[in-house]
Chain A
Amino acid sequence: MLSIRNLSIDYQLPGAALSVLRDVSLDFPIGQVTAMIGESGSGKTTLTGAILGLLASNARVRGGQLLWKEENLLGQSPERLRKFRWREASVVFQAAQGAWNPTLTIGQQMLDTCVDHGFPQHQAKREELLRKVRLSPERVIQSYPHQLSGGMRQRALIALSLMLDPELLILDEPTTALDLITQSYIFDILAEIHQEGLTMILVTHDLAAVARLADRVAVLYAGTVVEVGTAQQIFEQPQHPYTQVLVRSCPDVHGGDVVRGAEGLPPDLRQRPPGCIFASRCPEVMEKCRTEVPALVNDVACWRRPV
C-alpha cells in the first residue's frame, strides 16, 4: 500500500540544518496496523507530515521516495496532494482542543471537506460515523467544539477522518491527552474500525496502545529505523538494545522489576555521529558501532546481532 524508501529530511534552522530523518525505509502492508514508536523528537510526526505533504515551510527533503501504490508522492503538485489528503489518506491529530475550528459547528466542519472534494453532502454518512464512534448525532452536529468534552472531541475527530472512506488512516498520538477510561474506549472503536480492513499507522510512545492494536511495530530512534517486527516479537524478544531499553522502561502493571530508562541524552541531530546512532547510549557498544552505520538486516540494525 505505502512504502518509504531511504527518506531523509532536514529542517533548515538559522545557520544549521537539523537532519530529522536519515535514510528511513518502511513498508506499510494493506489491512495492517503498523505502529511507529520512539521517544519524542525521533521524527515520527515529521514522517506523518511527509506522507501527507504537510511539512513545515523550512523542511528540506534530502532524498528518498514515498511510494503510494507505485506513485512517488514527493514532488507532486499541491493540487494532487490536496486531492490525496483525506480522500486517500486521512489523519487523526493529537491535540483535541485545538483541532476543531472554534467558530464552526462540528457538523459544518465535517461537511466542508466533502464539498471541497466534490462529494455530495451526505448527512446520512455523517450520522452513521458519529454513531460508530458512540456519539449522538443530534447533540454533536449542532454544537460547537468547546461544548464537547476532550474524549468526545477526539472521537468526533476519528469520525471526521473516515468521512471520505480513506484507504489509509494515520493516528498521531490519538490517546495521549485523555484519561485511561476514555483511552480504552477509543481503543475499542479503533479496533472495530480495523476489523473492517482499514490500513492504519499508529504513531505513539504509549506502548499499551501498541500492544492493544498494532500488528507490526517499527522502532524509531533519532530519525533512523532501528528495528521492525510483529508486536509479539518486539515485546517478547526485542533485538535491538534500544528496543530492549524502551520495552523495559514501560512500567509493567503486574509489578515487574524496577524501571530503568536509558542513560545519557539523545544525540545532537545537527552533527550526526558516524556509525550507529544509538552508539553513545548503547550498553553493548563496541568499536565497530562507532565507525560504521549498521544496515537494516532482517529487521534489525545492529552489529551485535548475528547476520
Chain B
Amino acid sequence: MRKRIALSLVTVWVALTFTFLLVRQMPGDVLHNLAIQILNTQGVTYQQAREMAKLQICYDPDEPIMSQYVHYLSNLAHGELGRSTTYRIPVVTILKSALPWTVFITFMAAGFSFVVGTTLGLWTAWRRGGWLEPALTLYATLTQAIPDFLLGVMLLLVFGVRLQWLPLRGAYGADTDPGLNFAFVASLLQHAILPVMAFSIPAIGSWALTAKASATSVLGEDYLLVARAKGLKPWRILRDYLGRNAMLPLISSLATSLGALLGGSMLIETLFGFPGLGYFLAQSIGTRDYPLMQGLFLLSTLAIVTGNLLAEILSRRLDPRSK
C-alpha cells in the first residue's frame, strides 16, 4: 500500500509540472495586454510598462522557466499559491471559499444519482424481462444525448421561469444571512435543487446502465442459482448475492468519478451562479488568471488522484478475492 501512495504522489508531481508548463505556454500574453494599457495611459516606454505590469500581476513570465518553476514549488511547500491577478487576493482564500460549495453540490448530486441509478440498474437486471429494461435504455439515451448545458437551461426555463417554483440563481437567498439558522439552510437547499437535478438526470441514466451491465454478468454466476436453491428470501438474494458482487466495480468507479467531479463542473456552476471551483475556473480561464488557474488545477489534480487512490483501497477492502 505504501508503494501505491508513493506512486500517486509521483503522479501528482508529474501532473503538476505538466500543468505548470502547459499553463505557461497558453497563447495570449496577459502581460502584453496590461503593458499596452499602461503604455496608453502613462506615456512610458514599452519596456517600462511591461515591468509595471509585471508588478501588477505578481509573477514574472520573462523569468526563465526553471527558476519560475523552482520558485513556484518552494511557494507551494509553504502553502502559498500566490495572488489571483484578477481578484488581487490570495488564491488560497478563493479556493477556501469556493471548495465548500462544489463539495456540497457534488456530493449531493453524485450521492443521489449513484444511489438511485444503481438501485434502478440492479432492479432492471433482476427483473430481466418486462418493460423496465427498454424504458431505462431509452431514458439513459435521451438524457445523455442532451448536452448538459442545454439541459441546464431547459430546467431553468421550466422550473424557474414558467412554474416559478425554484429560484433562478445563486447559492442562497440574498435576504438570508449564512449561519445555522433555518431560513438560510432552507433557501440553500431550495437553491441547490436545480443544479443537483441538472447534474443527476444524465448521471442516473449512466449509473443505471453500468449497474445493469455489471449485475447481468453477476446473474450468470452459479452462486446465484445456489442462493435461489437455498430458498433464500428474494431481497436477501438481491442484497447479499447480487448487490454485493455487482457493486464492487461500481464503488471504485464512484470514487474515481467523485475525484473528477471535484474539479467542479464549469457549466452547471456558471449557469446557476453557484460560486464553486468550476465557476472560478471558467472566470480564470477567461481572464488568463494564471495563479488562480494553477491553484484550481492543482486542487482538481489532488482530488482526482485521491479519488483513484480511494477507489483502489475500496475495491481491495471490499473484494476479498484480491486481499
A residues apposed to B, CB below 8 Å: 52, 54, 57, 82-87, 90-91, 93, 95, 98-104, 112-113, 116-117, 144, 146, 160
Cross-chain contact A101 with B321 (CB below 8 angstroms): no
Known: A93-B222, A116-B236, A144-B321. A101 touches B244 (CB 8 A): yes
Min Cβ gap B46→A in Å is 69
Pick from B53-61, B198-206, B226-234, B305-313 the stretch touching chain A.
B226-234
Picked from B128, B129, B227, the residue with its CB within 8 Å of the CB of A101 is B227
Is the beta-carbon distance between A87 and B231 smaller than 8 angstroms?
yes
Q: Is B38 an interface residue (CB 8 A)?
A: no
State the Cβ distance, A137 to closest chain B Cβ, in Å: 19
Q: Is the CB of A99 within 8 A of B223?
A: yes
Instruction: With CB as the reference atom, state the residue of chain A lying closest to B129.
Output: A57
Most B-side CB within 10 Å, residue of A52, A57, A101, A117 = A101
A144: B residues at CB distance < 8 A: 320-321
Contact across chains for B318 and A86 when beta carbons are under 8 A apart:
no
B225 within 8 Å of A (CB atoms): yes
4 nearest A-B pairs in the assembled complex, by CB-CB distance: A98-B222, A85-B231, A113-B230, A144-B320
| B177 on the A face (CB < 8 A) | no
Across the interface, which residues of A come within 8 angstroms of B29, CB to CB?
A: none
Question: How distant is the Cα of A280 from the Cα of B241 in the complex, in angstroms?
Answer: 45
> Number of residues in B with C-beta < 8 Å to the partner?
24
B245 CB–A CB distance under 8 Å = yes
Q: Contact at A54–B225, with CB atoms within 8 Å?
A: yes
Measured between beta carbons, the chain A residues less than 8 angstroms from B221 are 98
Residues of B within 8 A of A54 (CB): 225, 228-229
Q: Which of B87-127 contact A (CB under 8 A)?
A: none
Bound together, the chains give a CA A74 to CA B222 distance in angstroms of 23
- Among A83, A87, A113, A146: residue with most chain B CB under 10 A: A113
* Contact, CB under 8 Å: A103 / B319: yes
Q: Kindly identify which residue among A83, A95, A117 contacts B222, using a CB–CB cutoff of 8 Å.
A: A95
* B320 touching A146, Cβ below 8 Å: yes
Interface string of B229-261 (1 = CB under 8 A from A): 111110010001100110010000000000000
Chain A nearest CB from B320 CB (Å) reads 4
B321 touches A102 (CB 8 A): yes
- Residues of chain A within 8 A (CB-CB) of B129 are 57
Q: How far is the CA of A93 from the CA of B226 in the complex (A)?
A: 8
Given contacts A57-B129, A103-B245, A146-B321, contact A98 B228 (CB under 8 A): no
Residue contact B231 to A116, C-beta cutoff 8 Å:
yes
Q: What residue in chain B is nearest A81 (Cβ atoms)?
A: B231
- The CA-CA distance from A166 to B211 in the complex, in Å, is 36
Least CB distance from B122 to A in Å reads 15
Q: Report Cα–Cα, A84/B229, bound state, in Å.
A: 10
Q: How far is the CA of A284 from the CA of B231 in the complex (A)?
A: 47
Set of chain B residues within 8 Å of A83, measured between Cβ atoms: 231
Do A99 and B222 have beta carbons less than 8 Å apart? Answer: yes
Query: Which of A52, A91, A100, A104 is B240 in contact with, Cβ under 8 Å?
Result: A104
Docked Cα-Cα span, A82 to B226, in Å, equals 12
Quick check: B231 and A86 within 8 Å, CB to CB? yes
B223 contacts A86, CB within 8 Å? no
Question: What are the residues of chain A within 8 A of B241 when measuring CB–CB?
Answer: 101
Residues of B close to A101: CB separation below 8 A: 223, 226-227, 240-241, 244-245
Other than A95-B222, A146-B321, give 15 A-B pairs with Cβ distance below 8 A.
A82-B231, A83-B231, A85-B231, A86-B231, A91-B226, A91-B229, A93-B222, A93-B225, A98-B221, A100-B223, A103-B245, A103-B248, A116-B232, A116-B233, A160-B230
**Distance to closest chain B CB from A33 (angstroms):** 20
- State which of A99, A102, A116 has its C-beta within 8 Å of the C-beta of B226: A99
**Selected A-B contacts with CB under 8 Å, 23 pairs:** A52-B229, A82-B231, A85-B229, A85-B231, A87-B231, A90-B230, A93-B222, A98-B221, A99-B223, A101-B226, A101-B244, A102-B223, A102-B321, A103-B240, A103-B244, A103-B319, A103-B320, A104-B244, A112-B240, A116-B230, A116-B231, A116-B232, A160-B230
Residues of A within 8 A of B240 (CB): 101, 103-104, 112
Cα distance A33–B223 in the bound complex, in angstroms: 26
Give complex CA distance A99, B223 in Å: 4
CB-CB < 8 A to A93: which residues of B? 222, 225-226, 229
